[in-house]
Structure formats: structure tokens, C-alpha cells
Structure 1
Amino acid sequence: MSTEIPAAERRSLSGPTMGTRYSAVFFAPAGLDETKLAAALQATLDRVDRQMSTWKPESDLNRLNDAAVHVWVPVPAELMVVLQAALRIGRQSLGAFDIGVGDLVGAWGFGARPAPGDSPPGGPVVPKPAITAEALELDPHLRRARKHAPLALDLSGIAKGFGVDEMARVMRQFSIPAWLVGIDGEMRAGGAKPDGAPWVVAHERPARDVREAMGVIELLDRAVATSGNYRQYRDIGARMISHTMDPRSGLPLENELASVTVLADTCMEADAWATAFLVMGVEKALPFARATGRDVIFVLSDATVETTL
């Protein structure tokens, strides 16, 4: 009787999630039940979306957003993990990353509710939101949260990264030795390819209306995420308005950065820090990234590249 181990085959799966699509490329023996894996990935991502979407009125995040001030709201385990991480990264980034920008996102036309049609030429006037670290209280032991001031939370800068990490967890549960999973530009790799090579992903050139690579990034048990101003934007008069809000000014972000790409051990960390560094601007973010040992690629609007790699 032969004891030869079946060769790993290259497979791929994809499906809808969070208003876009997920992808999974992996090497696994022929006996893997691909239907069960696809179902597990979809169920996992659907759970994340049900909890963290601002577009689903019944999501757990929107239950918290709609709750009265000072009222405790039950929070599921996954959402609690993301909220804790968001507050931690908010403190570490000195407020550059702040999930309490939901009203700003909506007012400028990037949220679930359409922007008002009668905004002044310079854009809507929105009160600066409360500092989330001060306005949001978490009780992880009892899995509950409450607001101490009006606050609209938006997890678009961290939830997709967490979703990718949850996909990674599923791949490990199925004992798949080598995989690359992602949602849009948020990617995470596990193991090497059968020939020992790392996974390779494109580092996209931050150009509007075109998609082309300006380089490649090799991943081996690491995650990568990119934030930029070149995919989601609106034109208001002669101004191009970025979908990224600056929580410090209460306005859409305007600085010299076109994109920021972060490599980290988890995609949630890479996702959130890419947004934080984008908001900081290169003059503050580059020395901060170097001092904290983070792997980052900064692409400026003039195509200049700065990196800590």
C-alpha cells in the first residue's frame, strides 16, 4: 500500500463581502472539501459584516451608534476585539486613527446615507466629533459598550483587515498549509508556496481611474494593507475630496500623501495603521514608523517614495 502524500494543488475561491469581494488562493491536497471551506469563509465574513457594517441598519455597530448616551449596549466578541484595537491604535497614533468619524463620513457623501444636496460650495459644516477614546467606554468582561457623548462610529479603516484575519483563522482550522487571503487591497499570507517561494502581491500605483503595479511585495506569514486618496473621492466644485477624514480637524484629509502601505503580523493592524499614517502625513509618520519599528511604504502625490523597509 502506498503511503505517498498527495501533492498540494493550487485552488482559489471568491465571494461577495462588505460591498466588494473576498479572494482566497491556496495549496491543499486533493481531498480537501472545497465546498465546506467556501461555506466557512462566507459564514465568517457574513458574521463580521453583520456586526461591523455601517450600511446595515441592524448591525451591532449601528445598534451602538443608535443607542442613547450612557446606555450599556451588548457587544459580540468579534466587535469587542475590533473596538479595543481601534481605541488602542487611536491612543498610540495620538488621535490620527479615530473611529468616531461616522457623521463626517456621511456628511461628505461617503457613508450609508446620501450627503445633503444643499451643502455650501466648500462642503458641509459638521461639528467636530467627540474624541472617541474619551467618549466610548468598553467593558470587555461583560461584552458591553456605552457612549458618554453623541458618537457615530465607522470601522471602515479596520473592519476589512479584521475580516481578512478571520479568513486566515478559517484557513488554519482547515489545516491548509499555504494560503493568501484578501479583501480588496488588504491581504494576509500563511506559509510558503510548495516550492518554498513567498507569496507575491502587487504594490499598486496610486493613480486615479487606472490600475497598475509600481512594484511587488513578498509576503511570508505577514499581512499588508494600503490606504490612499485615489480610489474613493468626490468632486465638490474644483476640489477633490478624499473619503478619509482627519479626526483632528473634522475635515476631509488633505496632505502630500497619495498612499500608505503597511506590513504587519495581522491585517487588522496593517489596515488601521495605514489609515493612521495617511492622516499623520509623511513628515510625522515616517519618523514615527521608524521609531516604532513598523514596515511602511509612503507614496507622495509627486510619485516620490519613502519607506522604512
Structure 2
Amino acid sequence: MPKTCSERAAPETTRVVLHGPTMGTRWSATCELAPQIDARALQRDLAATVERVDAQMSPWRSDSCLVQLNQAPVGAWFALTTEMLQILACALDIGRLSQGAFDIGVGALVDAWGFGAARSAPDASAIRAARALAHGPAHETLELDLHAGRARKLAPLQIDLCGIAKGYAVDRMAEVLQHHGVAQALAALDGELRAIGGQADGRPWAVAIESPQTGLRRAHGVLALQDLAVATSGDYRHFFDVNGQRLAHSMDARSGTPVRGDVASVTVLAANCMLADAWATALLVAGAAQGLALAQRHGLEALWLLRRGGALVELGLGRFGGA
């Protein structure tokens, strides 16, 4: 039996919430289901979809496609699934557009600083070794052959997809929902969400923007979402405190260090969740000034929450422009 809670949303549909574990967190789908849609089959297919993404892209699973690609010799072509090619192509494109602020080639740094599968705390010797790896950003050192379905590394490169994989998984969930005939739903995985249509009563989905306060879960604001995706990246969930300085889990490949600065979180709206997720990561890494310039250059809709003088200050573009 699927895990559901139901209430009558409109005469024609029933609201059903499906959910399950994945990627160290949980996925969920709030759906307005017509009578002919099988909730059990939908639950099964959604769970299988997020499991497939995790099985391919997890750095914690030794048999994942990502880990095998990381272990492949430099210069050797490695066959990839369609899903891996899709996410890598998007990641490399945003790496170029963000001038390296988004870089999936940070896997060794993520592990060295204690945020990956290798260790749970920073290791000075591992950090020095990761910084010593002589390679440029991933968009210069990973070559994709989309026609042949393969990739090869042009330098020692350990790829990490944590800044984009959850958003990609949400998009795959949206595909499953639509395949089952669901026209109104909100798919979510951690801080990444995508709305299919609106609610049964015609209103958009109400999505909370989390307040970036450590140890406190509450909403900073509420966003109306319809046929749109949103993702938030921040420094307040996974971080180390080193000599009073917050070191976030997002890695800046340009400096070889975790993100640090006055940006508490960045929320981005986009047509799909993979783009929203990657750009939220890129703007967090870039910092307030460079991130704002990047967002303006590429027409992004984004909201920054900045720590200034002990208070949170909002900076917004697009639909967030009133901030």
C-alpha cells in the first residue's frame, strides 16, 4: 500500500500525497488525482524513478554510474546512460555560463572537506592533495560524445552531482506524473520543487521559502508556484564551524574551499528543476555581487537572503524584484 493521506479537493479529483525515502532525504508528490488514476501504480513508478536517479548519480553507492565514471582512466571513453548524458550536458553548460561558479569537478574537494562519502570531517592532507590536482573546470576537462553515448575525462577529475541531481530527479518525477495523466501536482525532493499546473480550485501551489537559520525550521516567505520549478541552495543545513567561521557544503572550485560569505541562501525559479537547482548552487558559490551580475546577464529570477549586521536582507530579480 502506498503511504497516502487523502482529502476531497474538488468533485472531480482527490488530493493524494505520495512519498518515500531517497538520497538521504525524502521525495513527495502532492497530486490532484482523477478517479481513473491508480495511486498505487503511481507511487510505485515515482519510487522507481527516484531510485534510478540515485543508483546512477550517487557518490555513496560504489556501483553507481557516477562512481564508475570517476574511477575510469583519464582519456578512456566511458559509456553512459541517457540520463547521465542529460545531466552532465546541462551541468557543463551551466559551468560555462557561470564562468566556473558551478563546477561538477569538485568531488575530491567535497570528500577532502568532509562533506562526501570518504570522510565526515575536514582532512588537511586530503585538502592539499585535492587542491594539487592539476585540472581546469569540468566544462574544459570532461568531453561528452552525445551521439555515441559516452564521455571521457581529459584530466584527473572526480565528479560530484549533488548540486544538480535532486533537481533532475524532481523533473523525472514530473514526467512520471504526467505520463500517468496527472495534470495538477507538486513534486518535491528536499529544497527542490516543481509544479504541474495549479491546485484543483485554480489557485497556484503555495511553497515556503525556508528561513536560513541553523536548527530552526520555519518559513521566511511563501511563493505561488504554477507550471514552474524552484530550488534553494544555502549554507545553513550542512556546514562546519571552523574557528567561528561557517564553511558550507557547497564547494567553490576556483578557491578550493567551501562557500563562505554573507549569502545565506539563494532561491531560483526556472522552467525545470534541474536548471533551478544548478543555478541556485552557482549563484550561492558566486557570492552576492558576482551572482547578481550572472543572474542579470542570463535573465534569471532569483532571491538572495544576505546576512548583514545580524539581520537578513533580501535582494531579488524577476518575480522577486520587489525584494
Change (3 A) 1:128 1:256: farther
Aligned equivalents of 1:100, 1:91: Cα separation in 2: 13
Structure 1 residue 275 corresponds to structure 2 residue 275: no
Aligned equivalents of 2:251, 2:122: Cα separation in 1: 20
Aligned equivalents of 1:34, 1:128: Cα separation in 2: 52
- 3-state secondary structure, aligned to 2:247: strand
Which consecutive residues of structure 1, in runs of 5 or more, have no partner in the other structure?
none
Structure 1 residue 95 corresponds to structure 2 residue 104: no
Q: Name the amino acid aligned to 1:306.
A: L
Q: Name the amino acid aligned to 1:167.
A: M
The CA deviation at 1:115 is 4.9
**Structure 1 segment 31-42 matched on structure 2, within 5 A:** 31-42=36-47
| Matching residue of 2:115 | 110
**Contact kept in structure 2, 1:188 and 1:223, CA below 8 Å:** yes
Aligned equivalents of 2:278, 2:255: Cα separation in 1: 19
| Matching residue of 1:56 | 61
The CA deviation at 1:128 is 5.2
**Contact kept in structure 1, 2:57 and 2:65, CA below 8 Å:** yes
| Matching residue of 2:138 | 132
- Count of residue pairs the alignment pairs up: 303
Q: Name the amino acid aligned to 2:217.
A: R
- 3-state secondary structure, aligned to 2:220: strand
| Matching residue of 2:217 | 211
| Deviation per residue, 1:165-220 (Å, 9 max, x gap) | 00000000001110000100100001121211000100111100101111101111
Aligned equivalents of 2:73, 2:53: Cα separation in 1: 24
Change (3 A) 1:95 1:170: same
The CA deviation at 1:76 is 0.4
Change (3 A) 1:143 1:222: same
Q: Give the percent of matched residue pairs that are identical in Structure 1 and Structure 2.
A: 47
| Matching residue of 1:290 | 296
Aligned equivalents of 1:257, 1:107: Cα separation in 2: 23
**Contact kept in structure 1, 2:112 and 2:123, CA below 8 Å:** no
| Matching residue of 2:14 | 9
The CA deviation at 1:6 is 6.1
Which one of 241, 247, 250 corresponds to residue 244 of structure 1?
250
Aligned equivalents of 2:238, 2:271: Cα separation in 1: 26
**Structure 1 segment 146-161 matched on structure 2, within 5 A:** 146-161=152-167
| Deviation per residue, 1:110-147 (Å, 9 max, x gap) | 00111577638xx9423255221121111111111111
Aligned equivalents of 1:298, 1:85: Cα separation in 2: 23
| Matching residue of 2:316 | 307
Change (3 A) 1:22 1:288: same
RMSD: 1.6
Aligned equivalents of 2:205, 2:179: Cα separation in 1: 20
- 3-state secondary structure, aligned to 2:47: helix
- Greater Cα offset, 190-199 or 180-189: 190-199
Which consecutive residues of structure 2, in runs of 5 or more, have no partner in the other structure?
1-9
Aligned equivalents of 1:128, 1:81: Cα separation in 2: 30
Aligned equivalents of 1:110, 1:148: Cα separation in 2: 25
The CA deviation at 1:240 is 2.4
**Contact kept in structure 1, 2:283 and 2:291, CA below 8 Å:** yes
The CA deviation at 1:237 is 3.9
| Matching residue of 2:172 | 166
| Matching residue of 2:74 | 69
Aligned equivalents of 2:257, 2:132: Cα separation in 1: 8
- Greater Cα offset, 265-274 or 231-240: 231-240
**Contact kept in structure 1, 2:240 and 2:248, CA below 8 Å:** yes
The CA deviation at 1:288 is 2.6
| Matching residue of 1:30 | 35
| Deviation per residue, 1:70-100 (Å, 9 max, x gap) | 1111100001000000000000001100000
| Matching residue of 2:203 | 197
**Contact kept in structure 2, 1:89 and 1:272, CA below 8 Å:** yes
**Contact kept in structure 2, 1:225 and 1:274, CA below 8 Å:** yes
The CA deviation at 1:270 is 0.1
| Deviation per residue, 1:14-54 (Å, 9 max, x gap) | 00111111000010123321111011001111111111111
Aligned equivalents of 2:19, 2:94: Cα separation in 1: 30
Aligned equivalents of 2:271, 2:122: Cα separation in 1: 43
**Contact kept in structure 1, 2:115 and 2:121, CA below 8 Å:** no
Change (3 A) 1:70 1:118: closer
The CA deviation at 1:238 is 3.3
